[in-house]
Amino acid sequence: MPPYSHHTEAELVALLKSKDQQAFSYLYDNYGAALYGVAMKMLNKEEAAKDLLQEVFIKIWRNIASYDPSRGRLYTWMLNIARNAAIDVLRSSGFNQDKKISGIEQNVYNDNSALSTSQKTDHVGLKQIVEGLKEEYRLIIDLAYFKGFTQEEIARELNIPVGTVKTRSRNALLQLKSIMK
Amino acid sequence: MDIQQYISSGVIEAYVLGIAADEDVRELEQLSHQYPEIAAAVEEYRRSLEAYADALAITPPAGLKDQIWSAIQADEQQLPVVHPSQEHTGSTFDFATNEGKGGRRVRLYRSLAAAVALLLGSITLNIVLWNQSQQTGKKMSEMKQEQQRMLADNQDFRSRLEQSAHQLDLLLDPFVKSIVLAGVGAHTNNNAMLLWDGRSKDVYLSLKNMPLPPAGKQYQLWAIVNGKPVSAGVYTMDGKQAMQKMKTIPQAEMFAITLEQEGGSETPTLDEMYVAGKVQG
């Protein structure tokens, strides 16, 4: 089990606001792997993912004072920082965009579950998600959530009407939710 | 508001995935404050997606943690941050292990390297600044040209406006007679408008409804005085076909226009008469 249970989010936030190295260490050990995994998933390149992880931690450090717990959980906040930063990288002209979506299946068999920072008590592994999620639903989630595509861009990428993107994204999340239960 | 219908409309899923339209985002954020059911539905999806993100976790490469901590500290002191991908574990460390023996040499190399880097930086900066000033200069001259063009346009507009005002004055002046010169023979489709000032005896002509004369030819206006044609000058087709002042004619019974060689003729070529009109009263 991750050491997350040692601190509640509120305690962690207080610790982070003190800005000492111990707080960073705790944050990195508990969220580093999740945020790095997201960075790898989105950018698909180790060098870029390392740079991104650093940028994300710097942003967390700079902005922790303005984090407002009433507006969402800390993890959501950090994940959004990471996703937005990665989307910025993906959209930057210099980034050599690899058109194919990162092969999630490659990761499935590297069992990383022990490293996961999941805050859920009943942890669901990647393998279960990939096997439980219909391919076309996984594609929609990956393009929208992990590539920052708009509905129109997804429609173009998959060559389906925008209306289909809407129905599919609803069904995709319903299915994901049922897997996670 | 039908909450259940809203929840099953698909907007929440699009919102959580980050693909909802801006107005839907605004509406949803407002509604989720009002309706706990909506907030709960959002949160539930969010947690599913976050669990998915969790499942992707990969242990970052060893050493990255220390690098990031150094970068955070550098950032806090507003020093330039080194990106992990730029971190190179090469020459400098090799030199460092040789300190002692060639320590001074290493330091010399380092200061040389620093000096070269500074020089290169300064050259680059100079090139950038020079480029910028070149561009500014280019923009300035473009703007100057633009300004000159606008001035020319302005002058052109002003002269046209003055001309129009003058024409309007003539038309409204009760002492100015307007005479329509109607088409003659094969030229019944053409006509011309002539204005004759009863006091100054000035004659103005407009040829809006006349064909363009062939090259080397010009229209010539004739006043018929006591049965004899007197030249009232040639009309210059300048594309605008505005009112043009002709020669002053003290007295005439009739006006006519013929097509003549450029510059005009002594006597009219009668079979090239286009239009003619009698002076009334």
Closest residue of chain B to A132, computed from CA coordinates: B52
Assigned domain for A128 exists: no
If one counts the domains in chain B, the total is 3
Residue A112 confidence class, pLDDT cut points 50, 70, 90: very low
Per residue in A13-46, pLDDT (tens digit) is: 888 887 788 889 988 999 999 999 999 999 999 9
Q: Report the C-alpha gap between A139 and A146 in whole angstroms.
A: 10
Assigned domain for B78 exists: no
Do the beta carbons of residue A31 and residue A117 sit within 8 Å?
A: yes
Assigned domain for B29 exists: yes
Q: Of B172, B190, B206, which residue sits at a domain end? A: B172
- Whether the CB of A108 is below 8 Å from some CB of chain B: the reply is no
Q: Which A-chain residues 84-103 have CB contacts (< 8 A) with chain B?
A: none
Q: In this structure, are A63 and A141 located in the same domain?
A: no
Query: A81-95, B12-26, B230-244: which has the minimum mean pLDDT?
Result: B230-244
Q: Which helix (H) or strand (E) holds B272?
A: none
Q: In this structure, are B221 and B160 located in the same domain?
A: no
Q: In this structure, are A33 and A76 located in the same domain?
A: yes
Per residue in A126-178, pLDDT (tens digit) is: 888 888 899 999 999 999 999 999 999 999 999 999 999 999 999 999 999 99
Q: In this structure, are B206 and B264 located in the same domain?
A: yes
Q: In this structure, are A111 and A160 located in the same domain?
A: no
Assigned domain for B137 exists: yes
Does the beta-carbon distance from A37 to B56 stay under 8 Å?
A: yes
Please name the member of B48, B59, B60 whose beta carbon is closest to the beta carbon of A173: B48
Range of the domain at B26: 3-55
Range of the domain at A174: 133-181
Q: Considering chain A, what is the average pLDDT of its residues?
A: 81
Does the beta-carbon distance from A61 to B13 stay under 8 Å?
A: no
Q: Report the C-alpha gap between A174 and B45 in whole angstroms.
A: 8
DSSP H helical segments within B8-63, as ranges?
A: 11-17, 22-34, 36-55
Distance of CA B22 to the CA centre of its chain: 31
Pairing of strands B176-183, B217-225: unpaired
Per residue in B138-179, pLDDT (tens digit) is: 899 999 999 999 999 998 889 888 888 888 888 888 889 989
Q: In this structure, are A139 and A50 located in the same domain?
A: no
Does the beta-carbon distance from A117 to B14 stay under 8 Å?
A: no
Q: Which residues of B touch A129 (CB under 8 A)?
A: 52, 55
Q: In this structure, are B13 and B50 located in the same domain?
A: yes
Assigned domain for A38 exists: yes
Assigned domain for B69 exists: no
Q: Report the C-alpha gap between B140 and B137 in whole angstroms.
A: 5
If one counts the domains in chain A, the total is 2
